Structure 1
Amino acid sequence: MAMAQRAMGLLRRSLGLTLPPAQRALSTSAAPAAAEGAAAEAAAKEAKRRNKKKNLFDVVQFLPGWGVGYKVAKTTWRDVSYQITKINLYKDGRHGKAWGIRYKAGVQAADAPIRISGVNKRGWKYIKESQKKVEDALKVEAAVAA
């Protein structure tokens, strides 16, 4: 008998023949608390978005020429960095391929540019000291050309 009632209940649920659940009475004092909760949730999402790590293209998109000539490195790398020589962007502007000259402990490790691995992965940073070197190199080139 219990088996038949259970089967009948499952059949009703699957066909949607059960009664809708009873509505809960909402108090007016819960409305401000809900608004505060929504504001706190929005602030938490904003903080999480701000702390999100960036891929290489997110880092260099604001640099002149998409960062060509500037040094970048992964945040987890100790002494390895790359000076970007070429960037190939996909249409969305957030993914692509990059080539650069490898530096180890501040010393150039290779003469020819190589493809940089992991450019679409998160956790890249811009090395600020490289900007001075690029500007100095441009000044020297301008002085030699003049």
Structure 2
Amino acid sequence: MSKKILAISLLAIVSFFVSCSDKQPEAKAASQVVLPQSQPIVPVLPFTAPAKSVITVEKALIYAKASNGLVELGAKWSERIDNSKDYEKIQVLNAYNVARDQLCARAGLQGGIAEYDWITNVALKNPENKLAFEKAGFKVK
């Protein structure tokens, strides 16, 4: 999937330079499309669950940042997923999963969404992490 994103990015860059070298300034101004600036792909490392499920306050803060970002990302993508045609849904969902992985990695979870899921399903349930999560702004039962 990352090769496809890289290929699309390269095509966008090449088309930008081709359109910039056009000798007709009047036509160029009318037809030029401004592309959003893309961020470089962040490497997501394979995640292996640690032997102990105790995390630091810093990791809980990173988790909180990723959690907030994932909520916003989900809101932005949900309409796109709902409105996509049946044959596009798998591609849109795959792109959404890549976006979730990238968001988590950018927040500081090097294992991407897999690390986020491990914290959600394992570390959050460990009573030894209660203080760390509370310092990160979570209410833990």
Classify the TM-score, shorter chain.
Answer: under 0.3
Q: TM-score, normalised by structure 2?
A: 0.22
Q: With CA pairs under 8 Å and 6+ residues apart, which has the higher RCO, 1 or 2?
A: 2
Indicate the structure with greater helix content: 2
Q: TM-score, normalised by structure 1?
A: 0.21
Question: Which structure: larger Rg?
Answer: 1
Indicate the structure with greater strand content: 1
